[in-house]
């Protein structure tokens, strides 16, 4: 039995990451579309637009996290947006989510980031509990607003 391992993904991990990304999107209510997920991640790799971490358990991919770099004008510093964090159903409670979050934080702090931000569904109490337990703080200062094309209000 091999331990849980988390590492930054490389292009050779594209297929494994795409499967997990597709599962993540389905968890968020989107239809399955593995080719589109693979293409989307390929573009992120090709253009250096995100950082992806892959969690493996017994050498099987079981989770991933995707970070997008940004900046805070107020803090005059780099920030990262944790846009995707997903652990497959069979690997939940294995420590994979905590390990992925640890990798995300180490990466962000190594690049001098002043924060990592994420959004979580209000209905996802399990994830919220994990974030609280790991020291993440619910923002009570700012509201998040969105503007979508044609004034739409639906997801995503």
Where are the domains positioned within the chain? Answer: 5-151
Residue 41 corresponds to which tokens in the numbers above? 């991640």
Considering the domain delimited by 5-151, tell me its CATH architecture. Answer: 3-Layer(aba) Sandwich (3.40)
Residue 152 corresponds to which tokens in the numbers above? 């739409």
Q: What is the DSSP letter of 11?
A: G
Provide the pLDDT for residue 156: 59
Q: What is the DSSP letter of 3?
A: P
> How many CA atoms lie less than 13 Å away from 2 in the CB half-sphere?
11
Q: CB within 8 A of 136, min separation 6: which ones?
A: 118
Mean pLDDT over residues 91-118, rounded? 96
pLDDT tops 90 at residue 150: no
Q: What is the pLDDT of residues 60-93, one digit of tens each?
A: 999 999 999 999 999 999 999 999 999 999 999 8
Confidence of residue 2 (pLDDT cuts 50, 70, 90): confident
Tell the residue number behind the tokens 């996802």, with chain if given: 124
pLDDT tops 70 at residue 152: no
The Cα–Cα gap between 64 and 126 comes to: 17
* CB-based contact 94:87 (threshold 8 Å): yes
Residue 109 corresponds to which tokens in the numbers above? 């702090």
The Cα–Cα gap between 50 and 62 comes to: 19
Strands (E), the chain: 5-8, 51-57, 60-72, 77-87, 115-118
């Amino acid at each position: 039995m091999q331990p849980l391992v988390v590492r930054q993904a490389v292009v050779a991990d594209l297929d494994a990451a795409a499967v997990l990304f597709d599962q993540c999107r389905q968890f968020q209510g989107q239809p399955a579309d593995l080719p589109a997920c693979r293409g989307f991640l390929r573009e992120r790799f090709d253009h250096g637009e995100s950082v992806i971490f892959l969690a493996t358990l017994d050498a099987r991919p079981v989770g991933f996290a995707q970070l997008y770099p940004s900046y805070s004008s107020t803090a005059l510093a780099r920030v990262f947006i944790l846009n995707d964090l997903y652990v497959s159903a069979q690997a939940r409670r294995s420590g994979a989510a905590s390990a992925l979050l640890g990798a995300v934080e180490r990466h962000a702090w190594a690049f001098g980031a002043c924060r990592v931000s994420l959004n979580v569904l209000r209905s996802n109490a399990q994830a919220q509990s994990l974030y609280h337990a790991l020291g993440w703080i619910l923002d009570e200062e700012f509201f998040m607003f969105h503007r979508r094309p044609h004034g739409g209000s639906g997801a995503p």
